[in-house]
Amino acid sequence: MRIALVGAGAFGEKHLDGLRNIDGVEIASVISRNADQAAEVAAKYGAPHSGTDLADVLAMPDVDAVILCTPTQMHAEQAIACMNAGKHVQVEIPLSDSWADAEAVVAKQQETGLVCMVGHTRRFNPSHQYVHNKIQAGEFNVQQMDVQTYFFRRKNMNAKGQPRSWTDHLLWHHAAHTIDLFAYQSGKIVAANVLQGPKHPELGIAMDMSIQLKAETGAICTLSLSFNNNGPLGTFFRYIGDSETYIARYDDLVNGREEAIDLTGVTVSNNGIELQDREFVAAIREGREPNSSVGKVLDCYRVIGELATSLEQQDGWS
């Protein structure tokens, strides 16, 4: 299987690291805004082609699939373009930055029947898979999730500390991870509230946000997000259940007493991004719908769209 990567930034390289652990996968091309960066990353991972235009990849008949790690506002349009060209596509989170665009991507997937998967990595992290398996087995039920998503990002930088050409967003990007995971672990979300703090004078986005969710099962979730937090950084999930408490820190898991839980055997890898890519490749090979398909994660974007409307109304009140 020949896969092209579009967007050779910090997260793009994480996908390339994962793909080279999957048998029978070749990196066909690396595309980036900067030709030199694209060529450098292509050389590092053995890709025979590099460039700056997605259209070049879509015109290559030997490219089977595309992974999009591009700016958020390009995701929906590019995902649709990939499917129009007959390519399977995995688009990094978020699927879009509007509910209408999310619906358009789903419609295109249904029209083409191609695999269209969204990078909701939390479904694949071994830590969250362990909890999900407990839920599926009837051994654990979520009563409450408390989640902290914290960064120190007062300048427009990526995970490598490099300048970004686009502005990140707490709601459409970072909250999407938790909103989808909460529904995945607890059931359809039936109530959601949001408040945000002051907007950054240069970035134009809120730097702090608080979200409350309730699932049809009665479980609740409290999510705190900040770009102002000066450490520790990352996202930390506390599952409070009817039989145990779990704390997930990306691919690691402890119980409420901070005792490590052995995740050996839960999955074939301890890397959530690699597991996500393995699912993408397997779904294409097996002709099936992947976990975190655009259809399975769509309801997350319904909730985000409703929260975005709420924030617009709150801006009007001020």
DSSP string, 278-292: HHHHHHHHHTSPPTT
Q: Give CA–CA dist 211/314, Å, rounded.
A: 14
Q: Give CA–CA dist 202/221, Å, rounded.
A: 31
Q: Among 41-45, 56-60, 198-202, where is mean pLDDT lowest?
A: 198-202
Q: Is the pTM of this model over 0.75?
A: yes
Mean pLDDT (whole number) for 166-173: 78
Indicate the pLDDT class of residue 202, thresholds 50, 70 and 90: confident
Mean pLDDT across the chain: 94
- The pLDDT value recorded for residue 168 is 73
Looking at domain 122-266+302-317, its CATH superfamily turns out to be Dihydrodipicolinate Reductase; domain 2 (3.30.360.10)
Q: Does the pLDDT at position 159 exceed 60?
A: no
List, in sequence order, every beta strand (DSSP E) within the chain: 2-6, 26-31, 49-51, 65-68, 88-92, 116-119, 142-150, 189-196, 208-215, 220-226, 234-241, 245-249, 252-255
Indicate the pLDDT class of residue 166, thresholds 50, 70 and 90: very low
Q: CA gyration radius for the chain?
A: 19
CATH 3.40.50.720 positions along the chain are 2-121+273-291
Q: Does the pLDDT at position 157 exceed 80?
A: no
Higher pLDDT, residue 160 or 164 = 160
Q: Give CA–CA dist 74/216, Å, rounded.
A: 33
Residues 6+ apart with CB under 8 A from 216: 187, 188, 189, 190
- The pLDDT value recorded for residue 162 is 60
Q: Provide the 8-state DSSP code for 81.
A: H
CATH of domain 2-121+273-291: 3.40.50.720
Q: Do residues 28 and 5 touch, judged by C-beta distance below 8 A?
A: no
CATH 3.30.360.10 positions along the chain are 122-266+302-317
Look up residue 26 and give its two tokens. 């070749």
Q: Give CA–CA dist 112/100, Å, rounded.
A: 19
- The pLDDT value recorded for residue 160 is 59
Scored b (16 or more CB within 10 A) or e, 172-199 reads: bbbbbbbbbbbbbbbeebeebebebeee
How far from the centroid of its chain's Cα atoms is residue 139's Cα?
Answer: 27
Q: Give CA–CA dist 86/291, Å, rounded.
A: 21
Mean pLDDT (whole number) for 186-206: 93
Q: Give CA–CA dist 230/171, Å, rounded.
A: 20
Look up residue 147 and give its two tokens. 């989640």
Distances (CA, A) of 188 to 31, 192, 300, 303: 37, 11, 9, 10
Instruction: Report phi then psi at 218, rounded to 5.
Output: 100, -10
Indicate the pLDDT class of residue 232, thresholds 50, 70 and 90: confident
